[in-house]
Amino acid sequence: MASSRPLTDDELRKLAENPFESDEESSAEIDDVIISDHDTEDDASSLGSNDESDDGNDDFSPDDGWFFGKRLCYKWSKVAPGSTRTRSHNIIVRLPGTKNEAKNVGSSDILSSWKLFVTEDMLEMILINTNIKISELKQKYGAPLPSFVKLLDMTELRAFIGLLYLSGVMKSNHENVQGLFANDGTGRDVFRATMNFQRFLFIMSCLRFDCAATRETRKANDKLAAIREYWDCFIINCRRYYTPGKNVTIDEMLVPFRGRCSFRMYMPKKPAKYGLKIQCLCDSRTSYLCDAFVYTGKQNITNKDLSIPTQDVLKLISTIQGTHRNITMDNWYVSIELCDQMKARGLTVLGTLKQNKPQIPVEFKSNRKRAVASTLFGHNKEKTICSYVPKKNRAVVLLSTMHQDQKIDEETNKPDMILNYNLTKGGVDTLDQLCANYSVSRRTRRWPMAIFSTILNVAGVNSAIVLQCNSKNDTSDATTRRNLLKDLGMALVKSHIERRDVRPLSRELRAVVIKLGGTPLPLNCFEVEPTRKARCSYCPRQKDTKTKNVCEKCRAHICPMHKHSVCENCL
């Protein structure tokens, strides 16, 4: 604890000899409440009370070569370290781009790319648990069972997912389902050709991702038990097929959801405000999701000596440790403690700092006397602190372990730290925007369905990024993400349409199914044999030609002389 008396000359001399003591921040847990302070501008830190303690030495005046934080042990040099060759922490290990099986995916094969992230095993998991739920519901329906109450197979499951993607491409994810299947000209033909709306709603209501019999036992230790196995499989696939570039971004993503959920968050500065918070690590350049976890409250705290934001970062960096990459974060994560942890793991940090941190010198904070566009720098071993004034009485403070200089851009008059932060901070926000543009999510009261929709959205984005990396210079309109998602949706529904039985369908719907790839009826199916013979409607009466064949459309009797053969296209 800080002393209440002025420091003696001997004590000041000891501090000057060893000014780079680490910031031993006491750990604190985030309360499991609905309100999140993640996106506030200058909210109180979740650290211990020592962060706000006063050093009791207001009369101390530092010399001209140093800046001192609120605690005098935090000492920042005004002079940058001497120029040397490229530092080892700026030499990237592992080249960015696709890897493993993703390298062999064709530049336009969106279905093969998508199957890397949503594998057959993941679909089989949904199929088994969904059919268990359907079997339970069958007992509640009286005999005979409705036509839409039947077990699901793999082909129909893919078709259902394909319709979700097509609804996102058409910006119809929140449109009434009955409107999508309308036959008055306002609906979508591909939906009607794949399945009827009752079957679509029935599959959506029965979709399950885990075994319900063991769920309660697993929920005791894991709030995400209802979709945990499926989520972990997806994240493993995201890690496996892509290596991020030299800059990555860590930030939160809010999945809109207003139903009942014990870990639902309230974030007033987000557009949706209510939802499920997902902590993400993305490539800053492409916005590829490399790693993520769903925040479920203060469960399973592994290290009580570290603050909650630092522990969140440590959960996300397992695949990039020791690669010398830089992580850009906002002020909820960044601290001296985090910088020390990242240095030990071969990574650098760039991000904004909350202005209530005790390491920040008074000169670096908001001050009316500071000129607009002015910049202050401070250096502490491998850490650099920067304070920039964007407008009157406002200061932005950044902390970096990647920058060791005081470069300022001549055109914008902004320091390089600010420019690099603005360039790399939007990785997760861009991913969130890409997912929202063609979102497959539908209104639901079940939070596992909200996470499942997010998985499909992210899988669509990651699949397109894999193709973009493999296509190199191909920038044609056919490779736009909208067209790729449309092709993906059609590829998923194609097999189910091709095998659909068109006989019980109306002539108008039968033509739609055949147009989209369905199998037409053979010509002999249109020759219906009545129970008795009758005279041909076209032969003269005196000829008295009797026949059993009738026209499929008007049901008039026709003899072989007046039948006409047509090809499948004309039919």
Q: What confidence score (pLDDT) does residue 74 get?
A: 78
Determine, yes or no, domain membership for 326. Answer: no
Q: Where does a domain end: 368, 395, 424?
A: 424
Q: HSE on the CB side for 314, CA within 13 Å?
A: 18
For residues 332-361, give the mean pLDDT: 91
Mean pLDDT score, 358-367 = 88
Phi and psi of 350, rounded to 5°? -140, 125
At 454, which helix (H) or strand (E)? helix 447-471
Same domain, residue pair 131 and 245: yes
Express as a percent the part of the chain with pLDDT over 90.
54
Residue 299, pLDDT above cutoff 80:
no
Tell me 297's DSSP state.
S
Q: Is residue 6 a part of any domain in this protein?
A: yes
What is the arithmetic mean of pLDDT over 423-439?
94
Question: Tell me, what's the pLDDT at 29?
Answer: 35
Mean pLDDT of 518-527: 64
**One domain, residues 382 and 443:** no
Give the tens place of pLDDT for each residue, 131-176. 999 999 998 887 788 889 999 999 999 999 999 999 999 999 899 9
Q: Which of 365, 389, 424 is the last residue of a domain?
A: 424
pLDDT score recorded for residue 527: 46
The pLDDT of residue 445: 93
Same domain, 438 and 386: no
Least confident of 61-65, 384-388, 461-465: 61-65
Q: With helix as H, strand as E and coil as C, how does 303-352 read? A: CCCCCHHHHHHHHHCCCCCCCCCEEEECCCCCCHHHHHHHHHCCCEEEEE
Quick check: 301 pLDDT over 70? no
Residue 173 and residue 85 share a domain: no
Q: Is residue 325, in this structure, part of any structural domain at all?
A: no
Q: Which residue range forms the structural domain that includes residue 266?
A: 96-320+427-521
* 8-state DSSP, 445: S
Are both 515 and 536 inside the same structural domain? no
pTM given for the model: 0.81
Mean pLDDT for the chain?
Answer: 83
The pLDDT tens digits for 463-490 are 999 999 988 755 555 578 999 999 999 9
E strand or H helix at 541, and its extent?
none
Same domain, 220 and 307: yes
Spatial distance between the Cα atoms of 379 and 63, rounded to a whole number of angstroms: 15
DSSP code, position 159: H
Same-domain check for residues 117 and 240? yes
Q: What is the pLDDT of residues 389-404, one digit of tens each?
A: 999 889 999 999 998 8
CB 325 within 8 A of CB 243: no
* 3 state SS for 490-536: HHHHHHHHHCCCCCCCCHHHHHHHHHCCCCCCCHHHHCECCCCCEEC
In this structure, is residue 338 part of a structural domain?
yes
Q: What is the pLDDT of residues 302-331, one digit of tens each?
A: 677 888 899 999 999 999 998 889 999 999
CA dihedral 190, 192, 197, 202 (to 10 degrees): -70
Same domain assignment for residues 138 and 281: yes
Measured CA to CA, the distance from residue 508 to residue 196 in angstroms comes to 14
Domain-embedded: residue 398: yes
Average pLDDT of span 211-240: 94
Token output for 486: 């449309």
* 403 and 481 belong to one structural domain: no
**Residue 41 located in a structural domain:** yes
Among 368, 394, 424, the domain boundary falls at 424
Asked if residue 302 belongs to a domain, the reply is yes
**Same-domain status, 383 and 253:** no
**Residue 333 above 80 pLDDT?**
yes
User: Confidence class of residue 93 from pLDDT cuts 50, 70 and 90?
Assistant: low
Look up residue 295 and give its two tokens.
Answer: 């925040």
| Position 235 pLDDT exceeds 90 | yes
Q: Per-residue confidence at 439, pLDDT binned at 50, 70, 90?
A: very high
Same domain, 87 and 149: no
| Number of continuous H segments (helices) and E segments (strands) in the chain | 16, 15
pLDDT of residue 56: 36
Is residue 272 a part of any domain in this protein? Answer: yes
The reported pLDDT for the residue numbered 315 is: 92
Both 119 and 70 in a single domain?
no
> How many domains in the chain?
3
Q: What is the pLDDT of residue 510?
A: 87
